[in-house]
Structure 1
Amino acid sequence: MLRFREEHLIGGVARRLKRGVDSGMNPGEVFSRVQDHVIASARAHVEREILEAFVDKVAATPEGPLHDVLNALCDLYALSTIEADRAWFLEHGRLTSTRSKAITREVGDLCRRLRPVAGDLVAAFAVPEALLRAPDLIGEQR
């Protein structure tokens, strides 16, 4: 789904840029007019790249507890990314409302499954204490 969104958005940007330049508009003006589409395309590209790198790293991790946690985190990333842009996926026929609701439920389930290791994850990623908005939510009193 992330690859489809990226390719669709990039194709749309290319068509808009070409149409503007072909009509004789100043290229800078054309770019300014499609800047929101360029930014959306860039975001979609980065999100897809992150997911693919994440999938590769999980696949390279030996079976065991670490693999299970990383796999759940990867699923959470993928599903929460789709959930965050579900309107786009709905508008483009890639998601039904029933499936959208199922994704939201699964995101909640994954968060609950990962809750017991949240403190370990924060420590593993070396998140500075000053950046933690609600440290008591991860089970550690500070």
Structure 2
Amino acid sequence: MFVREFRHAPAVVWAALTDPGQLDQWAPFTAVRDLGSVGETTLTMVDGAERTDVPAVVRRAEAPAVLEYSWGDDLLRWELEETTGGTRLILRHTLAHPGMEAMVAAGWHLCAEVLRRLLDGRPVGVIRGADAMDHGFEELREAYAKVLAV
């Protein structure tokens, strides 16, 4: 479980999780359609010039509270809770193949920081794939490996 606090209303965070234009500014993938409705879609992993299409199915889209979709064989569940200061975002990323927990946590850590800056009006640009190595990815992965004892 990955938890982050944002100083923005759930509707603002929801839009960042579902709108393809916003996803392209912070997420590890692009989306061919808005994720705010159930049904099949494609999420495209981006690593420099390399693009990999991954099938996805939006299973739940209850704006602005719960978004759940498959990403290949993995399952992502985003929950948004309104707080006095904005929104608590809870991500549960269920891996189909264990062993990558620390790497996935480090990746989402970087993405969440890029999202925070984007929502705060201080965008730094998307950090994906090999570019993450220049932004502390390896140190984060090692720290999460210790915390997760993997």
| More strand as a share of residues | 2
Q: Do Structure 1 and Structure 2 share a fold, with TM-score over 0.5? A: no
Q: Point out the structure with max Rg over C-alpha.
A: 1
